[in-house]
Amino acid sequence: MSFHWVAAALFSFGVAYLVLANQIALDPWSALDAVNSKTLPQIYGLVLCAAVFVLWLQRWRNSTSQQSLEDRKDGAPPSARMRPLMLLSTPIVGFVLALNWLNLWVAVAALVFALLWVMQERRWPVLLGGGFGVAIGGFLLVEQLLQMSLPIS
């Protein structure tokens, strides 16, 4: 992702935050306070937008943008570098969804297995040992040793 997109996203976030800050409902007494529930969020939002704009301007002025520097340093196009993020996020999303109907430790074993697979680990002893090892170790530590119950919602 190029710096310009990041700057645009940050600026948009600042604007959205400002809009939400202005929508905070205050009672008549609080509204008269020198600093009420709205004041600091409004300042944060405004300063963020200003800071992002100045930073964007600084980098725009530089002939070599941060994006091109990063690309040269890593020797890979941005899309290729972002690919592992997508691949790693998929098992995590699957883990979160699976927790609705799977036992936590079974889901953990599956998560470790999937993450190892995504990271190009193909040795079965590592895949199975990693998955079951973490799950069994976690179960023993959390539920047996620490006696913690997990009311996941």
Partner 1 sequence: MLENILTGISTALTFSNVLWVAFGCLAGTLIGMMPGLGPITAIALMIPVSYSLDPTGGLIMMAGVYYGAVFGGSTSSILINAPGVASTVATSFDGYPMARDGQAGKALAIAAYASFFGGTVGALILLVFASSLASVAVSIQSAEYAALVLFAMTCVVVFAQKSERLPSLITLLLGLMLGSVGTDQLGSVQRFTLGSLHLSDGIPFVLVVMATFALAEAFRLAMHEGQQPGGVFSMRDLLIPLTLVRRLLPVAGRSSVLGFFVGVLPGAGATLASFFAYDMEKRLGDGSREAGVAAPESANNAASTGSFVPLLSLGVPGSGTSAVLLGVMVAYGLQPGPALVSDQPEIFWGVIVSMYVGNVFLLALNLPLIPFLARIVSLPVRVLVPLVITFSLLGVLLTTFSLFDLGLMLMLALAATILRSQGFPLAPLLLGFILSGLFEENLRRALLLSDGNWTYLLDRPVALGILLVNIAICLLPLWNRKDS
Give the rounded distance of the alpha carbon of 25 from its chain centre: 29
What's the closest the beta carbon of residue 149 comes to partner 1, in angstroms?
9
Give the rounded distance of the alpha carbon of 98 from its chain centre: 19
Instruction: Name the residues that contact partner 1, by CB under 8 A.
Output: 1, 3, 6, 10, 13, 17, 20-21, 24-27, 30, 33-37, 40-41, 44-45, 47-48, 51-52, 54-55, 58, 66, 70, 74, 81-82, 84-85, 88-89, 92-93, 95-96, 99-100, 104, 108, 111-112, 115-116, 118-121, 126, 130, 134, 138, 142, 146-148, 150-153
Nearer to partner 1, 36 or 106 (CB): 36
71: amino acid identity, one letter: D
Residue 131, class by beta-carbon neighbours within 10 Å (0-12 exposed, 13-18 middle, 19+ buried)? buried
What's the closest the beta carbon of residue 72 comes to partner 1, in angstroms?
14
What's the closest the beta carbon of residue 128 comes to partner 1, in angstroms?
13
Nearer to partner 1, 55 or 128 (CB): 55
CA atoms of 110 and 55, how far apart (whole Å): 43
Nearer to partner 1, 25 or 61 (CB): 25
Please, how many CA atoms are within 13 Å of residue 89, restricted to the half-sphere of its CB?
A: 5
Backbone angles phi, psi at 37, to 5 degrees: -60, -20
